[in-house]
Structure 1
Amino acid sequence: MYASETAWREVDAYFVETLVDEDKALIAARESGQRTTMPQAEVAPNQGKLLALLCQMAGARRVLEFGTLAGYSTVWLARAVGGGGFVTTLELEEHNAGIARTNLREAGVAERVEVLVGPAGESAQRLIEEGAEPYDFVFIDADKPSNPAYLKASLELTRPGSVIVIDNVVRNGAVTDPASEDERVQGVRAVLADIAADARLDATSLQTVGSKGWDGFTIVRRAR
């Protein structure tokens, strides 16, 4: 039985080599994450491919992303929606947004992506107030204490049938601790409780191990 983090990384590397076509633009975007304010925080290549597949399975044409960094997942999502689709991605730091814009141009998808800079909650509220067209797919991967607020905004900006994916929900197992003093853990617990209490939503969470360690994600479908 293999249980080490080394084995997890080796398995991820095998899956990526076998199934994931990561071209030069994606590799450059992933590697440029080292220059952002949160190095190595981007999703793994096989996770990026998963987001793209989920997006395509949902038939998404409009995507909203909370948390851009270097734009690695943004490239995956922008390619998934195709030439007629559009991605709005929300990034706190102008420094990160600048790196992301360069990567989006190099990947050939800049024309279908808008990077909004500033606190994600405020940017999302502006979209709500402007009456933005509903999004078909939402990826929440920003500051974890704000997860409940991001979910609330997402429900204002989606429609029945939309899919919401929330990243980093396991926190190395700390998510099970109701007394945790980690605000990120409490942010995850709070958003899961909100999902469970909302009759419009159907969801599940999955644990993952791999190149990103022990973590996981929640997939939500808005039923009505």
Structure 2
Amino acid sequence: MSAASAIVDAYIGAHLIAEDAALAAALDHNAAEGLPPIDVSAAQGKMLQLYARMVGARRILEVGTLGGYSTIWLGRALPEDGQLVTLELEPHYAAVARANLARAGLDERCEVRVGPAVHSLGAMVAADEAPFDLVFIDADKPSNVAYLQAALMLTRPGSLIVVDNVVRDGRILDTASTDPSVLGTQALFDAVSKEPRLDATAIQTVGAKGWDGFLLARVLA
């Protein structure tokens, strides 16, 4: 199934997603610098970009930068005076991302902040930063609920929260799992289901990145 779905992803890309030197260079740079190949696919990146445009995002928050591939997709959805803040734990990954963003001409629009995301988010809440129109969460899964709680404090009614990797090859159904990533994702579903300020769903995906999915939540109040 994975081989066939990867071919379908290639078909989608060939028909709907233009070749892009900056994005290709970002992936090449990530590989050369030893970053794990866990970026979103091109089709998923384009989907995130369309989400940002559909909500008219002027401020975007990303939790989990890696090498900035998804950051480029999201940053290109912003108007010229828009801002994207992306949070990355690893200083080396952040340096690679900054170089990729500069190559894509987005370094003035996208700010990479380094350190544990929970701490960075706490500082943002304490500083009463302006609300974000879209939040993309794609970092360590055990902290998903903490990221969600911070996102609720950093958004406004009508904002969109997107969380990646919420199906995990179907392991989300394993009630006996001891995998911290599965447990963190199950806790995310539980938290969202009990949160009256969110209207949410989750969509399964299959493609070059395997069987996974995204959780989508609109902030109500």
Using the size of structure 1 for normalisation, the TM-score is 0.96
Equivalent residues in 2 for 1:154-169, closer than 5 Å: 154-169=151-166
Shift of 1:10: 0.3
Seen in structure 2, the aligned counterparts of structure 1 residues 177 and 89 have a Cα distance that, compared at 3 Å, is same
Counterpart residue number, 2:175: 178
Equivalent residues in 2 for 1:179-198, closer than 5 Å: 179-198=176-195
* Contact persistence 1:33–1:41 (CA under 8 A): no
Equivalent residues in 2 for 1:12-23, closer than 5 Å: 12-23=9-20
Shift of 1:191: 0.8
Q: Deviations over 1:85-104 (max 9, x none)?
A: 10000000110000000000
3-state secondary structure, aligned to 1:172: coil
- Please give the root-mean-square deviation of Cα atoms over the aligned residues, in Å: 1.0
Seen in structure 2, the aligned counterparts of structure 1 residues 213 and 157 have a Cα distance that, compared at 3 Å, is same
The alignment covers a number of residue pairs equal to 221
Q: Which ranges of 4 or more aligned residues in structure 1 deviate by more than 3 Å?
A: 35-38
Distance in 2 separating the partners of 1:181 and 1:31: 34
Using the size of structure 2 for normalisation, the TM-score is 0.97
3-state secondary structure, aligned to 1:111: coil
Equivalent residues in 2 for 1:118-137, closer than 5 Å: 118-137=115-134
Equivalent residues in 2 for 1:96-107, closer than 5 Å: 96-107=93-104
Of 65, 70, 79, the residue aligned with 2:67 is 70
Q: Deviations over 1:35-70 (max 9, x none)?
A: 456511100001000000000001110000000011
Counterpart residue number, 1:208: 205
Structure 2 unaligned residues grouped into runs of 5+: none
Letter in 2 for 1:80: A
* Contact persistence 2:202–2:213 (CA under 8 A): yes
Shift of 1:83: 1.1
Between the aligned residues of both structures, percent identity stands at 52
Seen in structure 2, the aligned counterparts of structure 1 residues 125 and 32 have a Cα distance that, compared at 3 Å, is same
Counterpart residue number, 1:52: 49
